[in-house]
Each structure stands twice: as C-alpha cells, then as structure tokens.
Amino acid sequence: MVSDTYEGFPGAVAVSRLSVYDWPTIDGHPGGGTPHLHLACTEGYVVVSGRGSVQTLTTSGYREYPLEAGAVVWFTPGTIHRLVNEDALRITVVMQNSGLPEAG
C-alpha cells in the first residue's frame, strides 16, 4: 500500500539499524539524544523493539510521538527532532540521500 503521508522521499536512500542512546539526558529522561535537524533529508523510523518517543518541533509547534514495536514515524527536512529511549529502544532508520550531505 502507498500512503500519501510519505511524500517527499526521492533520491538515494540509506537504511540502518540503531540502538537509541542509553545515557541519561540533561532534562531527566533515562536515555536520549540531543535535538537536531536535517536540512536536506527526509527521515523515517521503524521501531523494531523497546519503547520510547520522538520529540519534534516545526512551525506547527511541538509534538511527541510514542514509539513501540511496529510504530512508524516520518518527518521532512527542517524538522527539529530528538529520540528518547525509555526501554531498550531499537529502530531502523530510513534516510533520504543516504544521509548525505549531512553525515558526520
């Protein structure tokens, strides 16, 4: 099935598996990264196991999406985002343009 909610994903695609950060965050979550954005890449997460959330900030405001096995979250370039790991969160990351030119 093709969904029109997944628009804007042309070009080379990178797929990688990620164990989400397991060190405590400065704001008290048991694990998580720092907020960041990608200027040229659409990004998606498919949750393989564990539990957590992804926090996003766009011109529409702040949102927090719960993540558990089977969940899919998708966002476009310019979306500020951060993963929060509550319990052994593992995801498959799908990123447009193979993550370039923003790798590193």
Question: According to the model, what pLDDT value does residue 83 have?
Answer: 92
Summarised one tens digit per residue, pLDDT across range 3-40 is 445 555 555 677 777 677 777 778 877 788 888 888 88
CA distances, 79 to each of 28, 43, 62, 67, 82 (Å):
23, 10, 10, 17, 10
Instruction: Report residue 37 as tokens.
Output: 């954005």
Domains delineated in the chain: 11-99 (2.60.120.10)
Q: Using one digit for the tens of pLDDT, what is the confidence trace for 40-59?
A: 888 889 999 999 999 999 99
Express each pLDDT in 81-104 by its tens digit: 999 999 999 999 888 765 555 544
pLDDT of residue 7: 56
**Residue type at position 40:** A
> How does strand 72-75 pair with strand 80-96?
unpaired
Supply the DSSP string of 2-60, one letter for each residue: --GGG----S-EEEEEEE---SPPTTS-SSB---B--SS--EEEEEEEEEEEEEEEETT
Predicted local distance difference test score (pLDDT) of residue 5: 52
Contacts of 15 (CB under 8 A, 6+ apart): 92, 93, 94, 95
